[in-house]
Amino acid sequence: MQVLDGKALALKKRKGLAEKTAQLLAKQGIKPCLVVVLVGENPASQVYVRNKEKAAVEAGFESRILRYPETMTETDLLALLAELNQDLEVHGILVQLPLPPQIREDFVLEAIDPSKDVDGFHPFNVGRLWTGDPLRVPSTPAGIMALLEEYGINPAGKKAVVIGRSNIVGKPMAEMLLAADATVTVAHSKTENLAQVAREADILVVAIGRGHFIGPDFVKDGAVVIDVGMNRSPEGKLIGDVDFEAVKEKVSFVTPVPGGVGPMTIAMLLEQTFQAASETHPE
Ligand code: NAP
């Protein structure tokens, strides 16, 4: 069994990015700028936003966090996004989810300029991904594809099972594996005989949000297992959807939690922002 070390690969990618960023600034005078909009006081969001800011600054980016009260109106948020879309110095815009109930998430995501949509959630970017011509893509599945590539795991011709069908992980993951020529099954809470379906997978991606749900009976001998889950154990420890200790003897590769998929997500977000910045041409 080999551990897919997302922490190490993310560090390597961020270091490479810092070098490319220094070159972009020196040669073209462009400094990638990521703006994160945070509405309200959600404690988990505060932590995510701080981590993104730290990573962006370390890569040599300009990082702006715009904080607004829980009572912000949808109209004000849409007006802010219109301004950021026009601002030539802003390359990536990310609205931290969840939003308070008075603000419609779909309206907000659709108001971001697709080229600045570094989360890849705008329907334009979803369509580009599914038509095989991706522009900006969701960072978590992109990070998983980068991990597979790093360890020489080629999905072509393999049977892949993705458990979870969210717009941010499961669905784009399925499409990226399909684009890499895997034969893909997407499973979810209504799937019958889930363990049997999962056991068919050469590559099993689990994104359901239930601590240690996946044990050895869900895993084929020699499978590659990717654990996206981030859950709290009753003792308050961060745990994945996969019971790592219980499956590790059965699998060929597996991601740990923490240190697997999580760190790759931020690295890929920075890569998308760099991409957006390097495509701009100052007037
Ligand atoms: P989500 O929107 O809640 O979606 C969960 C999916 O899992 C749904 O499609 C649901 O099926 C399915 N599901 C739930 N219980 C199931 C069960 N018992 N059997 C089979 N399928 C089941 O979650 P998400 O946003 O995709 O996130 C999933 C997990 O990944 C969470 O732990 C989250 O914290 C983590 N996450 C990690 C990262 C990272 O960077 N590491 C990024 C994003 C998310 P239905 O559609 O039928 O309801």
**Measured between alpha carbons, how far is 151 from 141 in angstroms, rounded to an integer?**
16
Packed helices 6-28 and 139-150: angle between N→C axes, nearest 10 degrees: 110
Q: Which fold has domain 139-262?
A: Rossmann fold (3.40.50)
CATH 3.40.50.10860 domain residues, the chain: 28-113
Give pairs for 194-200: CB < 8 Å, separation 24+: 194/163, 194/218, 197/161, 198/161, 198/163, 200/159, 200/161
Task: Please report the sign of the dihedral spanned by the C-alpha atoms of residue 185, residue 178, residue 110, residue 83.
Answer: positive
pLDDT, tens only, 125-152: 999 999 999 999 999 999 999 999 999 9
Cβ of 81 less than 6 Å from ligand 1: no
Cβ of 280 less than 6 Å from ligand 1: no
Cβ of 144 less than 6 Å from ligand 1: no
**Measured between alpha carbons, how far is 150 from 36 in angstroms, rounded to an integer?**
29
Q: Model-level pTM?
A: 0.97
Query: What is the 52 CA–ligand 1 centroid distance (Å)?
Result: 21
pLDDT, tens only, 2-11: 999 999 999 9
Best residue for ligand 1 mutational test, from 188, 197, 206, 210 (most atoms within 8 Å of Cβ)? 188
**CATH class entry, domain 28-113:** alpha beta
Query: What is the 178 CA–ligand 1 centroid distance (Å)?
Result: 20
Provide the percentage of residues in the chain whose pLDDT is more than 70: 99
With a CB cutoff of 8 Å and minimum separation 6, the contacts of 193 are none
pLDDT, tens only, 54-63: 999 999 999 9
Cβ of 266 less than 6 Å from ligand 1: no
Per-residue confidence band for 249, with pLDDT thresholds at 50, 70 and 90: very high
236 near 194, Cβ under 8 Å? no
In the block, which residue shows the tokens 């309200």?
Answer: 40
Query: What is the 166 CA–ligand 1 centroid distance (Å)?
Result: 6
CATH 3.40.50.720 domain residues, the chain: 139-262
Q: Which amino acid is at 263?
A: P
> Which residue has the CA at smallest separation from atom 17 of ligand 1?
189
